[in-house]
């Protein structure tokens, strides 16, 4: 068989595995499930490509290649050309999608992708530099820092997709906790004092340059920002709001600010109590929501999320109790905060292991695998290896080997208000 035939044979084999051409697949719990054979895959045989060893002529190879494309498998150029083609389109949406696909789609090896991304951080177009730098950060490579800082300091607005890319660059640096970016972002704030830039500084624990001149704003988002930036001079106003407001979101944020800035025990007790409705709620299978009101559920979940970053016995006990909740988001918040903010991984790891083994279905595959990638717990590892043998999809290796170095910042802010540490207690 010539080299082309070998390549296409490998592609066909991969296709068959990908679509599970045989009728039997496996669930995470090891039970069998029926799977349909894609019509296009079956058509390959009917179109004359019946035996891979007969693939000698160009026509046979073309028939196979056409069939492969028919089920969604395509030839991909080198990643650098793929990105250049998208850039040449001038379509910002296309450019953004291309940079995301470059590292997320698995069409190319990371050893090929990273050098290409680094190359594009020097592109003349700042939007291209932004996307290249963001992609580098997503895979755990900080070579995009210079490009992002350069964009932050451009000195003039530059429209991206619905947002000034200077602001987007500042948000990206803050999301990945780049403390060395505080100075450049502060400079940006002096000329572009937007709420997004202000929040970026707060997320880095930095106060605004004119913080002493700021007037207090009685909103939940502003109070959350004051707490993140350590602005204790607003404690009297925050305390008054906590005591007097009947607005739940405002009271939750005020309680968290008081707990964070002054270790106020009454505020911690309030958050623990406010978390109970979500923890104790019963799921309604018909609607996929709790029997308590949707708004009440979200506000109670937010109280639990606030509680997650407070290192206190009451907070920890509440989070452990929340691991038994029927509401998936409650369990996710509790699991992530116990591991990363409370430095209490044992019981949370048990939830991850149960998810991987199929005993529970509440965290979701992506979160469970992201957490497993950060874990050295033997039960989590054993459950993951068993999953890998049963499922055969490559997910376990994808998350725990290929993407093990990908930062937690890609996903952790969905579950925490503030991150006390950069990793789990391993």
Dump pLDDT digits (tens) for 244-254: 999 999 999 99
Query: Which pLDDT score is estimated for 55?
Result: 40
Shared domain check, 351 and 318: yes
What's the CATH code of the domain at 149? 1.25.10
Q: What is the DSSP string of 282-304?
A: PEETTTTEESS-HHHHHHHHHHH
Mean local confidence (pLDDT), 29-51:
36
Domain membership flag for residue 14 = yes
Shared domain check, 332 and 304: yes
**Cβ contact 405:140 at 8 Å:** yes
Shared domain check, 371 and 282: yes
- Measured CA to CA, the distance from residue 48 to residue 57 in angstroms comes to 12
Residue-range definition of the domain harbouring residue 150: 77-211
**Cβ contact 68:8 at 8 Å:** yes
Shared domain check, 276 and 179: no
CA 63, 66, 68, 71 dihedral sign is: negative
Domain membership flag for residue 353 = yes
Dump pLDDT digits (tens) for 301-333: 999 999 999 999 999 999 999 999 999 999 999
Shared domain check, 293 and 154: no
Question: Does the structure show a pLDDT above 90 at 223?
Answer: yes
Is residue 183 helix, strand or coil? helix
**Higher per-residue confidence, 49 vs 351:** 351
Question: How many other C-beta atoms are found inside a 10 Å radius of the C-beta of residue 2?
Answer: 9
Shared domain check, 328 and 201: no
Shared domain check, 92 and 63: no
Shared domain check, 103 and 206: yes
- Measured CA to CA, the distance from residue 315 to residue 270 in angstroms comes to 11
Q: What CA–CA distances, in Å, run from 377 to 297, 372, 426?
A: 32, 8, 9
Query: Which pLDDT score is estimated for 283?
Result: 73
User: Residue 383: pLDDT band by 50, 70, 90 thresholds?
Assistant: very high
Name residue, tokens 């496996």. 26
DSSP state of 11: H
- Measured CA to CA, the distance from residue 58 to residue 178 in angstroms comes to 54
Shared domain check, 103 and 64: no
Q: What radius of gyration, in Å, describes the C-alpha atoms of the chain?
A: 25
Domain membership flag for residue 233 = no
Query: Which pLDDT score is estimated for 70?
Result: 55
Dump pLDDT digits (tens) for 159-218: 999 999 999 999 999 999 999 999 999 999 999 999 999 999 999 999 888 777 788 999
Query: Which pLDDT score is estimated for 189?
Result: 94
Domain membership flag for residue 332 = yes
Average pLDDT, the chain: 84
Is residue 34 helix, strand or coil? strand
Which helix or strand (DSSP H or E) is residue 313 part of? helix 313-322
Residue 289 β-bridge partners:
284
DSSP state of 159: B
Q: State the total domains in the chain.
A: 3
Shared domain check, 185 and 86: yes
> With b meaning 16 or more CB within 10 Å and e meaning fewer, what string describes 209-230?
eeeeeeeeeeebebbbbbbbbe
């Amino acid at each position: 068989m010539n080299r082309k035939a070998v390549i296409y044979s490998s592609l066909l084999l991969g296709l068959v595995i990908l679509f599970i051409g045989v009728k039997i697949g496996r669930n995470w719990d090891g039970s069998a499930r029926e799977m349909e054979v894609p019509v296009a895959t079956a058509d390959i045989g009917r179109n004359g490509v019946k035996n891979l060893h007969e693939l000698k002529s160009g026509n046979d190879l073309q028939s196979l290649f056409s069939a492969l494309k028919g089920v969604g498998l395509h030839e991909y150029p080198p990643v650098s050309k793929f990105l250049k083609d998208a850039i040449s389109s001038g379509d910002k949406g296309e450019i953004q999608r291309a940079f995301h696909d470059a590292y997320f789609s698995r069409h190319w090896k990371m050893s090929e992708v990273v050098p290409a991304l680094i190359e594009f951080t020097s592109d003349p177009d700042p939007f291209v530099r932004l996307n290249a730098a963001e992609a580098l950060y997503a895979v755990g490579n900080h070579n995009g820092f210079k490009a992002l800082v350069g964009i932050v300091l451009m000195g003039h607005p530059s429209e991206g997709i619905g947002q000034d890319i200077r602001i987007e660059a500042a948000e990206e640096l803050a999301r990945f906790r780049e403390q060395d970016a505080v100075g450049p972002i502060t400079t940006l704030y002096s000329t572009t004092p937007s709420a997004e830039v202000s929040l970026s500084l707060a997320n880095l624990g930095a106060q605004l340059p004119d913080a002493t001149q700021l007037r207090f704003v009685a909103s939940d988002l502003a109070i959350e920002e004051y707490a993140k930036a350590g602005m204790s001079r607003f404690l009297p106003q925050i305390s008054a709001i906590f005591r007097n407001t009947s607005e739940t979101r405002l009271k939750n944020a005020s309680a968290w600010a008081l707990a964070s800035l002054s270790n106020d025990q009454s505020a911690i007790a309030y958050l623990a109590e406010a978390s109970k409705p979500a923890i104790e709620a019963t799921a309604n299978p018909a609607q996929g929501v709790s029997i308590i009101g949707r708004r009440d559920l979200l506000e109670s979940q937010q109280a639990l999320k606030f509680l997650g970053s407070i290192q206190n016995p009451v907070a920890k006990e509440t989070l452990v109790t929340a691991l038994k909740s029927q509401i998936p988001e409650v369990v996710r918040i509790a699991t992530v905060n116990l591991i990363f903010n409370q430095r209490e991984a044992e019981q949370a790891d048990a939830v991850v292991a149960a998810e991987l083994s199929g005993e529970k279905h509440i965290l979701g595959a992506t979160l469970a695998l992201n957490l497993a990638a950060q874990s050295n717990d033997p039960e989590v590892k054993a459950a993951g290896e068993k999953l890998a043998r049963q499922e055969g999809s490559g997910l376990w290796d994808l998350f725990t080997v290929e993407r093990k170095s990908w930062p937690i910042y890609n996903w952790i802010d969905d579950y925490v208000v503030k991150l006390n540490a950069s990793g789990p207690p391993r």
